[in-house]
Amino acid sequence: CTSLVAEDKSGKLYHARNLDFGLFLGWDVKNNSWMVTELLRPLVVNVNFQRNNKTVFLSTSFVGYVGMLTGMKPGVFTLTMNERFSIDGGYLGILEWILGKRSGAWMSFLTRSVLENATSYDEAKTLLSKTKMLAPAYFILGGNKSGEACVITRSRESCLDIWELDIKQGRWYVLETNYDHWKEPLFIDNRRAPGMKCMNKTTQENISFATIYDVLSTKPVLNKLTTYTALMAVSDAKLEAYLRDCPDPCIPW
C-alpha cells in the first residue's frame, strides 16, 4: 500500500491511498495477475455509515469485511492503514487471543471504532497510538487544520514512532508504504522513492486530487496488487475511489 497526506498552500489537507493486497495469493499465469487481487476489485464499495439519517463516517471498503482500512469523518479526520510486516506478527496475537489473553484490539475493528466514535484528530491519534493491538500496523491520520497529519508506526504492544507534518521545516506531506520511515525499504519493493520523487516534482503549490492521482498512477506506486485508489479531502467531505489496473510492464508488487 501507499498512503499519503499532503497540505496545500492554503492549509487544506488531502489524504490519498493505493490499497495493494493479494501478494502470493495465487498468480494467474494466463493473465499475469494476482488471483485474489482480481477477485477483490468487484467487492470494493464506498459506504456512507449513518445514524439518525446523518453521516457518521465514510469509507472505501470490501463487501463482507466489517473493519475499515480507509475512512473519513467529514470535517474531523481521515484515516488509512498500511500493513506492517513483522516476525512479531498478528498470528501471535491470534494465538494469544485463542489462549484467552484478550487485551489487544483487532486492527480493522480498532480503525472502525475510531472512525465511529472519535470526535477529534487528537482523540483519534491517542486511540491509534495507545491501544494495544494483535498485529503491528501503520496508521496514517489526517486532521482538518494546518499541520494535522501523521504516520503512527505501531508494534503490537506500543507506539514506535509518530512522524508528523511539519510545514515550518518544509515537510508539507507524509508518505508511507510498508516500511518504517526511518529505515530503507526493501530494495526490490521501493515505492517510497518514486512516490516522494513525484510528490516533490508536483510541489505544494500544485497539490490537488488530480496531481495526487497522478502520483498514485505512477509505476511502481501503482502495481499489480493495487485494487483501488482513494482520494479524500476532509474539509469538503469528499471521498472518491477508483478501481485500478496495472497493464504490463508492471511490477507484481
Partner 1 sequence: RAQDVPPYTEDCRSGTYPPSGQTFRGTVPWYKVNLDQAPHERWQQLISDKKIQLTALIQSIKNLAKSIFPSGKLIEIVDNDLPLLIGTLPAQYGEEMKGIADASGLPLGEVILFNIFYEVFTV
Query: Is 159 one of the annotated active-site residues of the chain?
Result: no
Residue 110 has phi, psi (to 5 degrees) of -65, -45
Stretch touching partner 1 by CB under 8 A, among 1-9, 97-105, 120-128, 142-150: 97-105
Cell of 232: 479524500
d(CA 111, CA 90): 16
d(CA 252, CA 33): 8
Does the protein bind partner 1 through residue 32 (CB under 8 A)? Answer: no
Q: At CA 238, angle to CA 236 and CA 243, rounded to 5?
A: 160
Contact flags string 40-59 toward partner 1, x per CB under 8 A: xxxxxxxxxxxxx---x---
Among positions 155-214, residues that touch partner 1 (CB under 8 A) are 188-190, 194, 197-198, 201-202, 209-211, 213-214
Does the protein bind partner 1 through residue 101 (CB under 8 A)? Answer: no
Among positions 207-246, residues that touch partner 1 (CB under 8 A) are 209-211, 213-215, 217-220, 222, 228-229, 241-246
Using CB under 8 A, pick the residue from 32, 108, 131, 235 that binds partner 1. Answer: 108
End-to-end CA distance of the chain: 9
Among positions 60-79, residues that touch partner 1 (CB under 8 A) are 60, 63-67
Return the closest-CA partner of residue 3 out of 202, 168, 153.
153
Stretch touching partner 1 by CB under 8 A, among 6-14, 80-88, 120-128, 139-147: 80-88
Determine how many CB atoms are found less than 10 A away from the CB of residue 251. 15
Q: Which residues are catalytic?
A: 1
